[in-house]
Structure 1
Amino acid sequence: MQLFKRIREVVKVLLVYDEEARVDLFEVFPAIKKFYSNRHNLFYLRTFGDISFGIIILMGLFGPQDHSRNVSLFLAWGVWWVSVVMSWFFLGKFWCGICPFPGVGRILQTLGLSLNREPPVFLTKYRASFALAFLAFIIWAESVTNMKNWPFGTALLLLSILLGASVMGALFRGQSWCRYLCPMGKIIGAAATLSMIELRPDLGKCKTCRSFSCKKGTANAAGCPVYLGTFNIRNNIDCLMCGRCLYLCEKDSPRLNLRNPFVELVINKGRYITCSYIIPFLIGSQLARFIQHSSSYGTVEQWFFGSNTLAFTMLLGLGFLFALLVIRIGAYLFNTTEDPLFGKFSPMVAVLVPLAFTGELAYRLDYFLANIGNVLPTFGRQFGFNLAHLHFSISAPAIYSICLALMCIGAVSSNYVLHLFNTRDFEGIISKSNYYGLHFLVLLVYAIYAVLV
């Protein structure tokens, strides 16, 4: 009976929008808290990730360069990318808590080989711009070099991210790369505003704290790697959900809450600059990548002297400008983007987050589904086994239907966020014609996705 009551409570929180409703997963499922509290568990997960990425990098650098004979490509672009994107909704930024890229930096800090300086002010001021530039380069390089079929290039990309995180770890304390510069972290943080879970403090307990060890650390353990501490967590954008604060906190403040996935979108209204930069670029880049994989891309290349590099670069820029235009029109239709107390915000960004999430999932899942049937034969060719008989394929119409259904869910979710805005924070502010216009913008973006995918 108690179990049924808990299940009903969980379902109600997930399906019924209530900004205050939460289920503390640490309380309902003590095993989760026990898992988090044991630092060895996260260490094992990070070690597994370190070893896995090390193998992928080594296979990319020294393995066969024929894409049909190197399984590292599918592990990187299929398994890893799809898993990361799926985690946005179910686990928030948990991936960042076990990410292998800061590993070398952590080792240098443990050995006392880091300068351990405070991150400079310009990093905090321009972090969104730097992260967006890195993200643009990664997506551009992935697309213009056909990196999904280039093992050496994929390994170099992973090494470059590892190098960036390691250099930052050698210069500054904590995980400054993760907080300020990591393009993956910024994507995950923006998308994690749609997550069904959150790590939050019990502020009543935090008020009685005088040590702030969750942020500063103790003599035996470093504090929050991204300089937050439990008491500073207000959203899912920066917190890595690494659980370090759980065993550092003397007041038992951290809570892992289950929530309605739209709560943070509605509360924050696209206020944070990370979302304002990342979401339009993510949508624009998805449109460019979908066009690149369409049958009409050859015609686009001809307009740019047959150059894939020029054609995709132009599409990437145009896609970003289109997404920014949609957001600007949306801001005009909302009729307000600033509040004396709340500050500036961009509600259209919040509305588009579900579409951006499902668009990226559809793009990555397309590659996964198209290539999963050849994984074992590829593994066999790479290591000298004949596994050709294990090959299977998923039809293109089936893949298209799955991707289209995912983006349809994204469009419905975006329209639902718009409905919540209209019936709550913006009730009486948005005229009926503007409200319909906002729905039209969402459906327009979805229609473009549906045509291009």
Structure 2
Amino acid sequence: MAIPNKNVVEGKKPINLLSIPIIKKFIQSKWYPGIFQWIVLIVFSVIVYELVAGTVDPTRNVGTSLTWVLWWPLIPIFFLAIGRFWCTICPFGKVSDMVRKTIGSNRPMPKFLRKYGLWIIDLFFIAITYSDHIWGIVESPRGSGYLLLLLVTMVVGTSVFYERRTFCKTLCFLGGLSGNYSRSGSLELRGTPEICKTCKSQSCFKGSDQAEGCPMFQFVRTMDTAADCNLCGNCVKSCPNNSIRISPRVPTSELWGVKRPVIEHTFLAAVIMGIVFVQNITMVAIWQDILKAIGSVTGSDNYNVNFTVAFIIAMAIPVGLLLGTAKIATLTGGSVEKVKKSFIRFGYAIIPLDLAGHLAHNLFHIITEGKAIWYNSAALFGAHVTRGDLAFASASTVRTLQYIIVVLGTIGSIYTAYRIGNKGPFKTLAPYYALMVLLAIVNIYLFSLPMMHRV
């Protein structure tokens, strides 16, 4: 059963940012979100050009710095603070809109993508992460540039044939990540039920003279999640009844009572934890020992073979731990169906810790390599700046911040499990609490080890 909005539970009317005239007027204007989209698209074009045609030295390529040292670390903060707003200003989305409006045939999304889109997104995210470690995409400006061009090609291809943002909804590798993280976010867009139920126009979905229908195929009247809302403002522009509100909320509160939990979200939540482990392990000294140990079993010294084994094991461990925890928690009369249901429901509790692990890992890059953004950007404009240490702070400071972030994420995950379990007895929910603590300990241990730079 879904948990209502926290403010509603407490008898308070949710704060509506659209009640502030200047915010509402801006979102309803033609400038929103276009002004942000064009700025990002121009920067994106420069990044792709530099990646493909600039220096092959990743430490001096501004495209590499802006993509992997700045954008990638900031992305989870975007999702936590303002939901999927990035998806509105994302250059892929803007390219999709332009292609579709000029030469698109706007055919309905294929049934295959509609049914399996979430699984495709999960697999695409895993494939890109795997490819990075096999072919060194992050360390290679050319590799990063070609990846972005491949994605642009996919965007153009889907936009020529299919309606709205089919690519963003069912194929974008960030789709699952942004959906999961945005559920933890502190901002939500909703309709007013009393107004929406009497609406005959359905302009939020169908569109109007003021704006197109929702690019992510959402119907505000029934929308109960931030996972697929880009905050593009189309529904705000189109709604004839002033029903839409944009409200701040308690982070993670949406996870407390997801109405329609699905295994695709839970699977990705567990897998992301394994991927964070991989990203950390490959940057510490014990990685070579792990490869040798795997090699002794596989009988191969081929890096790709042994990394593949390590990658699969790392992803499988959190999935297996979650499944085992669900079985332990349902030992007293728990059927297979009950175990599966618990596995899916409580998988959402891992998301805050996922977010914390992702943030903590990326914090290392932006703090210890962040000055490269300034040096490389200055060089792009012909300024000759003497390069020095790339770090903003010491490694010990970074580790302290990483520990704090992981602890906060652990608290968020434990409390989310508590709320998903309807504030049940401690002994009933203890296995899930223990799982979150175990995952946190592994993260903290890995962050305690000296890390090497990849860029």
Q: Is the 8 A contact 1:22 1:259 kept in 2?
A: no
Assess, with a 3 A threshold, how the Cα gap between structure 1 residues 159 and 232 changes in structure 2: closer, same or farther: farther
Q: 1:82 pairs with 56, 73, 85, which one? A: 73
Give CA deviations for 1:307-328 in whole Å, capped at 9, x if unaligned. 4323332222112211111221
Assess, with a 3 A threshold, how the Cα gap between structure 1 residues 389 and 161 changes in structure 2: closer, same or farther: closer
Report the 3-state secondary structure (helix = DSSP H, G, I; strand = E; otherwise coil) of the residue aligned with 2:433: helix
The equivalent residue for 1:282 is: 272
The equivalent residue for 1:317 is: 312
Distance 2:375 2:106 in 1: 47
TM-score (structure 2 length as normaliser)? 0.88
Report the 3-state secondary structure (helix = DSSP H, G, I; strand = E; otherwise coil) of the residue aligned with 2:188: strand
Distance 1:26 1:220 in 2: 20
The equivalent residue for 1:427 is: 424
Give CA deviations for 1:315-350 in whole Å, capped at 9, x if unaligned. 22112211111221232244379999xx88723212
Moved more, 406-415 or 294-303: 294-303
| Structure 2 letter corresponding to 1:348 | F
Q: Does 1:164 align with 2:154?
A: yes
The equivalent residue for 2:221 is: 231
Q: CA deviation at 1:434?
A: 4.1
Please list, as runs of the form range in 1=range in 2, the aligned pairs for 1:323-342 lying within 5 A after superposition: 323-335=318-330
Give CA deviations for 1:343-397 in whole Å, capped at 9, x if unaligned. 8872321221110011111122211112113333344556654312564523222
Please list, as runs of the form range in 1=range in 2, the aligned pairs for 1:122-271 lying within 5 A after superposition: 122-218=112-208, 221-268=211-258, 271=261
Distance 2:342 2:418 in 1: 21
| Structure 2 letter corresponding to 1:360 | H
Q: Is the 8 A contact 2:255 2:420 kept in 1?
A: no
Distance 1:445 1:17 in 2: 33
Assess, with a 3 A threshold, how the Cα gap between structure 1 residues 167 and 68 changes in structure 2: closer, same or farther: same
Assess, with a 3 A threshold, how the Cα gap between structure 1 residues 141 and 66 changes in structure 2: closer, same or farther: same
Q: CA deviation at 1:192?
A: 0.9
Report the 3-state secondary structure (helix = DSSP H, G, I; strand = E; otherwise coil) of the residue aligned with 1:280: helix
Q: Does 1:29 align with 2:20?
A: yes
Distance 2:394 2:284 in 1: 16
Q: Is the 8 A contact 1:337 1:345 kept in 2?
A: no
Q: CA deviation at 1:265?
A: 0.8
Please list, as runs of the form range in 1=range in 2, the aligned pairs for 1:1-80 lying within 5 A after superposition: 23-27=14-18, 29-80=20-71
Report the 3-state secondary structure (helix = DSSP H, G, I; strand = E; otherwise coil) of the residue aligned with 2:92: coil
Q: 2:98 pairs with 76, 97, 107, which one? A: 107
State the percentage of identical aligned residues. Answer: 23
Q: Is the 8 A contact 1:377 1:387 kept in 2?
A: yes
Distance 2:412 2:148 in 1: 33
TM-score (structure 1 length as normaliser)? 0.88
| Structure 2 letter corresponding to 1:417 | T
Distance 1:307 1:377 in 2: 37
Q: 2:355 pairs with 357, 363, 370, which one? A: 357
Moved more, 52-61 or 221-230: 221-230
Assess, with a 3 A threshold, how the Cα gap between structure 1 residues 182 and 232 changes in structure 2: closer, same or farther: farther
Distance 2:154 2:312 in 1: 25
| Structure 2 letter corresponding to 1:315 | A
Distance 2:19 2:212 in 1: 29
The equivalent residue for 2:399 is: 400
Report the 3-state secondary structure (helix = DSSP H, G, I; strand = E; otherwise coil) of the residue aligned with 1:40: coil
Q: Is the 8 A contact 2:184 2:351 kept in 1?
A: yes
| Structure 2 letter corresponding to 1:246 | V
| Structure 1 letter corresponding to 2:287 | Y
Q: CA deviation at 1:17?
A: 11
The equivalent residue for 2:452 is: none
Report the 3-state secondary structure (helix = DSSP H, G, I; strand = E; otherwise coil) of the residue aligned with 1:198: strand
Q: CA deviation at 1:220?
A: 6.1
Distance 1:297 1:94 in 2: 36
Assess, with a 3 A threshold, how the Cα gap between structure 1 residues 259 and 281 changes in structure 2: closer, same or farther: same
| Structure 2 letter corresponding to 1:207 | K
Q: CA deviation at 1:185?
A: 1.7
Unaligned segments of structure 1, at least 5 residues: 1-12
Distance 1:75 1:381 in 2: 13
Distance 1:229 1:402 in 2: 40
Q: Is the 8 A contact 1:333 1:434 kept in 2?
A: no
Q: Is the 8 A contact 1:284 1:323 kept in 2?
A: yes
Report the 3-state secondary structure (helix = DSSP H, G, I; strand = E; otherwise coil) of the residue aligned with 2:217: coil
| Alignment: residue pair count | 432
Assess, with a 3 A threshold, how the Cα gap between structure 1 residues 257 and 333 changes in structure 2: closer, same or farther: farther
| Structure 2 letter corresponding to 1:140 | Y
Q: CA deviation at 1:54?
A: 0.7
| Structure 2 letter corresponding to 1:409 | L
Moved more, 101-110 or 235-244: 101-110
Q: Is the 8 A contact 1:269 1:347 kept in 2?
A: no
Distance 1:79 1:22 in 2: 37
| Structure 1 letter corresponding to 2:237 | Y
Assess, with a 3 A threshold, how the Cα gap between structure 1 residues 213 and 398 changes in structure 2: closer, same or farther: same
Distance 1:233 1:269 in 2: 11
Unaligned segments of structure 2, at least 5 residues: 448-455
Assess, with a 3 A threshold, how the Cα gap between structure 1 residues 245 and 279 changes in structure 2: closer, same or farther: same
Q: CA deviation at 1:121?
A: 1.0
Structural RMSD (CA): 2.6
